[in-house]
């Protein structure tokens, strides 16, 4: 009787859990220093964030959002970066092959907050929105770091020209 109940629970719970993870979101560990000081401000601590798949289900991201995406250089790796510019914007780059880049349709420009210690669009260029898989919305661990991650962009990294249709 106990085995039957356990089997029923697994058979019902597994599809519901998978559906939740695929459509709503999941918790992920953030590694590295590229998003300091917002994420992992202390090298000895590791932040865990809630990544909302629901927030990017229609590929709608805003300037300043912290997003998770598939690395354009290594499809087996997920990276977490901040959206700096959207399609139609012109951004001033930091060491990219052109000093200014106009972001093509269906793309965005992403950067880590720790300038000079990050592998981002300044290395690989604009990123297809199809590579975006979630938006980081909360720091959920450690407890003393619980907070909502706000969409904010430092004044020094705002686009040179903004496409008004993306607001």
Residues with active-site annotation: 34, 81
Phi, psi dihedral angles at 156 (to 5 degrees): -70, -15
Q: In 110-129, which positions are buried (b, 16+ CB within 10 angstroms) versus exposed (e)?
A: bbbbbeeebbbbbeebbbeb
Half-sphere exposure in the Cβ direction for 138 (13 Å, CA): 13
CA pair distance 30, 69, nearest whole angstrom: 13
């Amino acid at each position: 009787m106990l085995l039957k109940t356990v089997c029923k629970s697994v058979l019902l719970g597994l599809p519901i859990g998978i559906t939740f993870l695929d459509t709503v979101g999941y918790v992920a560990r953030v590694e590295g220093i590229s998003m300091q000081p917002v994420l992992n401000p202390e090298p000895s601590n590791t932040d865990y964030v809630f990544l909302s798949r629901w927030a990017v289900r229609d590929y709608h991201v805003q300037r300043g959002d912290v997003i998770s995406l598939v690395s354009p250089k290594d499809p087996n790796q997920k990276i977490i970066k901040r959206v700096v510019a959207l399609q139609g914007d012109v951004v001033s780059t930091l060491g990219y092959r052109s000093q200014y880049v106009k972001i093509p349709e269906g793309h965005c420009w992403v950067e880590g907050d720790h300038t000079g210690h990050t592998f981002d669009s300044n290395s690989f260029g604009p990123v297809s929105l199809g590579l975006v898989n979630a938006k980081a919305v909360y720091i959920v661990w450690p407890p003393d770091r619980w907070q909502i991650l706000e969409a904010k962009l430092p004044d020094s990294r705002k686009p040179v020209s903004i496409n008004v249709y993306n607001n």
